[in-house]
A and B are shown apart, each in its own frame.
Chain A
């Protein structure tokens, strides 16, 4: 480079030409992309201008507007589908969904979705699934359930989203049996269960009875959607040999609420069990003022491991008036229990103010 042509000058000149060509190609790519996006934006605005009012009127029940939409060019169908369906992500008003579905039927959008479902491109399959879910096309529940086994993870995620939006009881079993399927996004599994709420409970209890290996998962699921009906099962699991099952059972009991038997189990667990179980037992006892005196056991946990102590303090704060009185007594202490007690009392005071 410095002392002259130890390498060929011709080669350097070729490189220079390559470099200059690359610059021109990249410049052309930037300009083309910008031009393309400007054109796309212009077309989008033109279509917005043309269809916005029509879509609004159609959703308000104007049949003439629906007929005008049906008469629109076929190439505008996807645009119209996006205009109609996207607002349903935020607006889950059943009448709006039903009206959108009617318009989608009139526009023959369901066959378009069917075609997309068979597409080789995963994002098309995902798009179709989400559209079917948002518009609650229950005639396609089976197709959506089948998509839970799609080879692409994002299509499986879209299928779960679709089932969450669809809320078709026919899909419930398919969702519950996939509770342990780690190939499905965990947040989406939880969202699907939450969407059905207590409707899931009988299926969960039925499956749990024949599948003891996955008790932890069933207990965690019941923590999302369980009710009084699950309490006896959860109480039985609170004595399971596996501490993870015991902790999950108390977590679920915190959700479904205690009865005197469950409270007794939680109080016993506070004094005897492992930290993760004590943590959940303390949580379950939050607000419990019934049989069995939870307060002394919770007070003993105020100088436990940090997470247990914090949970015990919060539960004491929620037990009125006995818990607050116990905290007041502890507030004079110089240890962790005293610190937590002072914090809880201070927060209580702030809330009262």
Chain B
């Protein structure tokens, strides 16, 4: 019996070791792809190349869809910032998703909303619309007041239904956009007719100075928790997503900023109300829809920060977010399991989704099981401590090297946190992340999986702060 247990433990620890080796190899392989993509992007998107939007007499109309549920604190600043974007051919569709605070009333008071008899088709399913308002002071602003749909996807669908643009930008109410973000994001659509969506690098606002809905100074936040997330975002955006973009296999456009061809979203069925990670679910469905029909598709990615979002600074908020992300990821993988390993879906089926399933789907479980095994073996007195410490050192050093690589790419792409003190802190965060934070997020990953399997989808609510002219 004991022999069987020991053999089982050895087999499992081999699997954990293999996971660790493969993960590091995969990250190292992504680096040259990401660097190639980045270099080409920087060389392509010169100022003259970006001026194309201004050369056109009638650039495509972009409808900015802003789902808002109890966003009284930030919605006015958000809308003001959107109205001040450089890209003029835009309309703003705020969807008040059954807010019980003063979201609608502050909009009504500030922008002189009037109930308008607006006719629109509803190709996408959403909760009933109560009324549509248009701003008297700025005719580009439309507010859709609807019954609560219970999720962002439902509100986004209502906004897309009411949108009159050929392109729709779906974002969060607390997202801060760069002034040129729309001009940048529209460019791939003008260049390549097979582009159906454009995602962008999302940066974290914590620590930054924000004035009138614009980032005016970038600094690392005081909160260590936010710093850890900055490092995580760098790793995610600068390695995996750039590599995916290089391979034309983007499977996630963040909910904070995604520009879509409206007809493509409608063809793919829009946002799924039952999806926990509605952004990834829609992106994968777009890939599935076009690739299954043999139609060319490209989901473009801009490595320049197009949008900024708040990272949670309290543990309960962060935990809730991670549990939700985890549930969303597993749900998407399960729903689209037939795509995994299927050559019909090209690089998405053969490369990206298998990677996501193995490294992100199983990753936290394998990581936590490694710690549990080590703990169990230590209790049984069979742990070779010397060997354990060496492997822990290997794991930490490789992880640190990969994260530093992401920092390097982020420096080249975005030139953020360039002060010496920020760099010193960043390096410290890269090292400290391995002690506690990674284990904690891995544990939340396991809990998120368990919650999804046991059908207790309680994901928590993130506390947001107003970003009116202050340092966050």
Closest CB in chain B relative to A234 CB, distance in Å: 19
Produce 1/0 per residue, A143-157, CB < 8 A to B.
Answer: 000000000001001
Closest A residue to B420 by beta carbon equals A34
> Quick check: A30 and B9 within 8 Å, CB to CB?
no
Check: B26 CB closer than 8 A to any chain A CB: no
Residues of B contacting A161 in the complex (Cβ-Cβ under 8 angstroms)? 48-49, 52
Q: Bound state CA distance, A55 and B388, in angstroms?
A: 65
Q: Are A22 and B398 in contact (CB under 8 A)?
A: yes
Bound-state Cα–Cα, A147 to B411, Å? 34
A30 to B423 CA separation, bound complex (whole angstroms)? 9
B191: chain A residues within 8 A (beta carbon):
157, 185-188
- Judge whether A3 and B418 touch: CB under 8 Å: no
Residues from 146 to 200 in B contacting A, C-beta threshold 8 Å: 187, 189-193
Asked if A339 and B384 sit within 8 Å, CB to CB, the answer is: no
- B377 adjacent to A13 (CB under 8 Å): no
A19 to B47, CA, bound (A): 40
Scoring A12, A188, A346, A347 by chain B CB atoms within 10 A of each residue's CB, the highest score goes to A12
B407-A30 in contact (CB<8A):
yes
Q: Are A27 and B404 in contact (CB under 8 A)?
A: yes
B116–A343 touching, CB < 8 Å: yes
Q: How distant is the Cα of A2 from the Cα of B377 in the complex, in angstroms?
A: 6
With A and B bound together, what is the CA distance between A20 and B386 in angstroms? 17
A282 to B415, CA, bound (A): 50
Q: How far is the CB of A122 from chain B (nearest CB, A)?
A: 8
Residues of B within 8 A of A185 (CB): 52, 190-192
Q: Answer whether A2 and B397 are a contact pair too, CB < 8 Å, given A9-B386, A27-B404, A195-B55.
A: no
Chain B residues within an 8 Å CB radius of A350: 114, 134, 136, 139
**CA–CA, A328 to B423, complex, Å?**
66
Complex Cα gap A134–B118 (Å): 45
* Interface membership of chain A positions 315-353, coded 1 if the CB is closer than 8 angstroms to chain B and 0 otherwise: 000000000000000000000100110110011001001
B6 located at the interface, meaning its Cβ lies under 8 Å from any Cβ of chain A in the complex: yes
Residues on the B chain within 8 Å of A339, using CB: 117, 119
Assess whether A9 is in contact with B404, with CB atoms less than 8 Å apart: no
Q: A1–B17 contact, CB under 8 A?
A: yes
Q: Output the least CB separation between A90 and chain B (Å).
A: 8
Q: Give the docked Cα–Cα distance between A194 and B388 (Å).
A: 68
**In whole angstroms, what is the CA distance A13 to B373 when docked?**
21
Interface size in chain A (residues, C-beta < 8 A):
57
**Is B131 at the interface (CB under 8 A from chain A)?**
no
- Which residue from A4, A37, A306 sits with its C-beta under 8 Å from B387? A4
- Chain B residue nearest in CB terms to A164: B55
* Bound CA span A86–B49, Å: 12
Query: Given the known A-B contacts A9-B387, A346-B117, are A22 and B136 also in contact in the complex, defined by CB atoms under 8 Å?
Result: no
Q: For window 7-51 of chain A, which residues contact chain B by CB distance below 8 Å?
A: 7, 9, 12-13, 15-16, 19-20, 22-23, 25-27, 29-30, 33-34, 37
Residues of A within 8 A of B382 (CB): 2-4
A25 CB contacts on chain B under 8 angstroms: 401
Tell me how far the C-beta of A22 lies from the nearest C-beta in chain B, rounded to whole angstroms: 4
Q: Are A3 and B119 in contact (CB under 8 A)?
A: no
Is the C-beta of A209 less than 8 angstroms from some C-beta in chain B? no
Contact B388 A3 (CB under 8 A): no
Q: Contact between A89 and B408 (Cβ–Cβ < 8 Å)? A: no
Cβ A336 vs Cβ B119 within 8 A: yes
CA separation between A224 and B412, bound complex, in Å? 40
Contacting pair A33 B119 (CB below 8 A): no
Whether B117 and A1, one on each chain, are in contact in the complex, defined by CB atoms closer than 8 angstroms, is no
Let me know if B57 and A194 touch, CB within 8 A: yes
- Nearest-neighbour CB distance to chain A for B16, whole angstroms, equals 7
**Cβ B117 vs Cβ A15 within 8 A:** no
Q: Which of A20, A186, A340 contacts B193 (CB 8 A)?
A: A186
With CB as the reference atom, state the residue of chain A lying closest to B52.
A187
- Is B89 part of the contact surface with A, judged by Cβ < 8 Å? no
- A22 to B403: give the CA distance in the assembly, Å: 11
Tell me the smallest distance from the CB of B155 to a CB of chain A, in Å: 22
Q: Which of B189-231 contact A (CB under 8 A)?
A: 189-193
Residues in B neighbouring A154, C-beta threshold 8 A? 43-44
Separation in Å of the B248 CB from the closest CB of chain A? Answer: 15
Interface residues of A in 69-122 (CB under 8 A from B): 86, 89-90
Known: A33-B411, A191-B52. A3 touches B57 (CB 8 A): no
A-B contact pairs, 12 of them (CB 8 A): A2-B383, A5-B387, A16-B397, A19-B396, A20-B397, A23-B404, A27-B404, A30-B427, A126-B43, A161-B49, A185-B192, A343-B117
Closest 8 CB pairs of A and B: A187-B190, A19-B397, A26-B404, A339-B119, A22-B401, A191-B55, A4-B384, A342-B117
Given contacts A9-B387, A34-B411, could you give 16 more A-B pairs where the C-beta distance is less than 8 Å?
A2-B374, A3-B6, A3-B10, A4-B387, A19-B394, A30-B427, A34-B418, A37-B411, A154-B44, A161-B49, A185-B52, A185-B190, A187-B187, A187-B191, A340-B119, A343-B116
Give A contacts to B, CB under 8 Å: 1-7, 9, 12-13, 15-16, 19-20, 22-23, 25-27, 29-30, 33-34, 37, 86, 89-90, 123, 126-127, 130, 134, 154, 157-158, 161, 164, 185-188, 190-191, 194-195, 224, 306, 310, 336, 339-340, 342-343, 346-347, 350, 353
